[in-house]
Structure 1
Amino acid sequence: MKKIMSDSSITTPEAQSTTPAPRQSVSLPSIGEFGWVWVGLILLLGISLVVAPGTMTRGSILAMLPFAGILAIVATGETLVIQQRGLDMSAIGMVSLAGVVMARTGLSHDSLLLAVAVTVGVCALVGIVNGVLVSRLAIMPLVATLATNALLIGAVRSLTDNAPVNVPALMQTISHAQLFGLPANILIACAFVVTAWLITRKTAIGRRFVGVGVNPRAAEAAGVRVLSYQIGAYVASAMCFGAAGMLLAGFIGSASATSGNDYLLPAIAAVVVGGTPFTGGKGSVIASAAAALFMAQLGQLVLALGAGDSIQLLVQASAILLATLIRHLPHVLHSLNRVKK
């Protein structure tokens, strides 16, 4: 016996021809969540070459790279803390204090090695204090590290009497040295960035570090010593700030209470432009370093155009906003396509 199919189950050629074709989704090329900073950097270099070609000469680039390297080291430390859902606002005081401690110790004992060792020890101690305040005492990172920053600035002023301190000649030689045609500062910065990348991406410690940042409770349930990683992030951050402070003091030739004033907000901006979210876990020190180069070149470009301080801040803020919007544009387009469907 033949089964009779209902009319609703029969699709005629005319019905097929009137079926609307699916809409084509609009999307940007997939270059990864941390890849957009490289696009922005290439665009900025191209704009600089057209608008202010003087900033793209070999001399200008070599003059900019040492400061970009110092900023990249600070941004690396800030990235590690933000990956643990924290924030370190003590960069100003730590950069200044590290330069002063290194200079005073080096001149007093005529030993740069001892000066560096003492400075590293001081930085580690400050990092432990920050980590304990945030992780153990549950004080908000913004409040805890700002308080630490105020104490550090006070300590620097007490040590210097608000007068610059000369830096040992050997440290100046190291900071001004060049290797393979590149400034030593940028090579040291690359060593910091690559080391941090290898530890966080290629080791078991790094995987646990990322896991603590993603979900501390789940990591603790899995047997990970969460407190150690959270405090360790602040220790690593303080040591990065200290290394940047020593290199900056050596490059300038003196250390003072105001040495670190220009390295807090640009470092945080570099982390944001590089794509590290404040939700923890995810992050890329390499992207933050590229964003530090972006920020340094942007400052060079704005200065070359003769803009005032207010215009410089406006341009930098606009560039940061544009970089953030470009990075999130694929998600916006995907959401719009879902609404249309």
Structure 2
Amino acid sequence: MIQRKIPSAEEAEKLKALGLAVINKEAEAVAALAGRINGNFAQACCHMLACEGRIVVTGMGKSGHIGGKIAATLASTGSPAFFVHPGEANHGDLGMITGKDVVLAMSNSGETAELLTILPIIKRLGVPLIALTGNPASNLAREADVHIDISVAHEACPLNLAPTSSTTATLAMGDALAVALLEARGFTELDFARSHPGGSLGRRLLLHISDIMHTGSEVPVVREQAQLRDALIEMTNKGLGMTAVVDARGRLTGIYTDGDLRRTLDREIDIHGCRVRDVMHTGCKTATPDMLAAQALQIMQENKINALLIVDRQQRLTGAINMHDLLRAGVV
């Protein structure tokens, strides 16, 4: 069994100080980017907004890892993008770039050999080249149509060698580009949900009441003239904690719930001789099948109810839903 080493108080303070120094250095690097949100940044955004193809992100080493994340962020926020490894581009993957694309290349030094090798092909295609580098005098920066400076004063690594502050700055600038494009395109929550159907936001925004509501024989329902005891049996059998009350034409006229039963007992009403129409709750909250499940949740929360009846435009009962259904669907 491996013994866990518990640091002494002195060691713990030293480790915390080292960690804090890294956070502070990287925060300074990101803060310095504010002055680089300038005309070049706006021009880069214009190129990407006008792109009829894809934004092709490329970078080597740590910049490549950051580039993969930036490409994913762009793609999920309305700007179609993908990542191409510059090493693989030199061996065939360059064919993935078309004349309708925009290339976003990143290199802290601006002298990455694999990127410089493919520059002539990018130039021959005539596609806009946007470069994110830490060296405005570099070959990549000079050859780019637009250069954005992501230089940092010092890496967070005490040796000033491991890409730390520089990769954080690159990532932050990539996020700035992606979010600026998102806003400029009028990208909405619904658009985001469409590209994230498996996530919780996708479930909240794309799932309709009709997808999860109880229908047919699963819906507890009695006629207005039914005895209250019959309504209680229906509630027990269907297990939704309530029953709908309808008229002869199937139109909703009220609801009777577990809470109504407690109030009925408090009033000492004879549940064997009473009709449900005499004790039901009228003017109950309803929803329609085409509404989003998230809207059903909002109605329930605002009115402090646990179930909702679903009706069509003629107020005919079509289904029912309760909080458990929303929980199971991942809406809550």
State TM-score, norm by structure 2.
0.22
Using CA pairs under 8 Å that are at least 6 residues apart, name the structure with larger relative contact order, 1 or 2: 1
Q: Which entry has the higher C-alpha Rg, 1 or 2?
A: 2
Structure ranking higher in helix proportion: 1
Structure ranking higher in strand proportion: 2
State TM-score, norm by structure 1.
0.22
